[in-house]
A and B are shown apart, each in its own frame.
Chain A
Amino acid sequence: MRLGDRLYYQMRRFRKHLAILGAVIGPGVIVMVADNDAGGFTTYMLSGAYYRYSFIWIVLLLGPVAYVCQEMTVRLGVMTKRGHAQAIFEAFGPFWGWFSLSDLTLTDCLTITTEFIGMTMAMEVFGIPPLFTEVVVISFIMLMLVNGRYWTWEKIVLAICAVNMIVVPVVFFIHPDVNDIFKTGVVPGFPEGLGGPVLFLIMATIGTTIAPWMIFFQQSSVVDKGLKKRDVPYARMDTAFGSAFTVVTAIALIIVATVFFGGDANLQSAGEAAKLLMPLHPYVGIILAIGLFDAGLIGALSVSLASSWAVGEVFGWSHSLNDRLGQAKWFNLFRLSIMVIAGTIVLIPGAPLGTITLFVQVIAVTLLPAALVFLIVLLNQEELVGAYKNTRAQNIMAGTVVGIILTLSTAYGVGTIFPKLFGG
């Protein structure tokens, strides 16, 4: 075959692969970008403000770790056509099923509360009252389902995901010290050792990168989208792209926080950072507020779906995004309820919002090890996943990741309960 012909066929093949990737892309990018939710924004801003660029290498490491965990949900979802909650019920029985479902629902409801805290704080920068923000957000999330098509929902969410990266261009205008970034950020090391708040912030970073709801969300999403075996390589790419986007945005947030607040250990949240920047650097403040609102919105959208899908699967309700609002009334009512409960908690005067934010992590810690262990056990069942069973290398990799996460997240949970244990 002539070189020209060969190039022509290669080009056609490439375009075909690109078209399939375009169709498959969605669950992986959404779940990974939703990882940079309002809580994630605050965690990265605080790590930059407290310890400058020192956390960049941790974020770089966590990207592939999140990929390893999420890729397994793709294979399990495609092969079993079951969400993670239903798969747990079927494989391990009612005890573990109810434990996972109730823990997930409680964690999700509290996580959505933190998303609303972030969104209302971001909109307060523009003088918009919290109640108005919440009503508009909940109405928007529910109206996205009126059309009753998964594809429409996914495209809207992907557009919202693109806004999550709004902070990235800011890095090019604020002239950070690139040498310093490579010297103190990319080379592994712990600022001031591992004592005090450093360990706490490392664990918070891990907690925000790998969360239980992500496992449930992506597996249900893959099932609802109807991905098939042949789509698995593209779904893997989708997850890898999402992981890369998350890492880039997280690093951008750390850089922005370092440039404007580096060494300031008094910063409390991303919302406060946006407010503080408004008088001095209004454009950066506005961008940060928009980014924080967007992060909270993607978080609320995805987290509320994770538990609604899980409860819908187990109770046998219609739970597809392809169903119209009225067709899947219990599924939508459940989703609306957890958002209204979360929104109401934020509006209660004097509500212990700080305690809630910490409590989320503790409850999540109880679910994360179980969810990850179940994932590995299920992916070793040949009768369930056939040729997509974990290989020995995948088991070693996933087992190592689970071991590290288990140790650190347990330490985080224990550290939250007993703050003095790690010198905090």
Chain B
Amino acid sequence: MRKILFNKKELSSDQINNMRDFDLVLKKVQAQRQYWRSPWFYGTIGLASILSFLIFI
């Protein structure tokens, strides 16, 4: 069920801009990149593929 808000008090530009955190965004970007680059990621995918193949045959 949708909630319909009528004349809701909006946050001011200052309040919104105080929530900005570009460092956090960069950290998340870095974490994602490291996750894809991690040998653990490919190792797990590889192991899962081998196991799936073995189960299949």
A, B assembled together = no
Taking Cβ atoms with an 8 Å cutoff, the residues of B that contact A are none
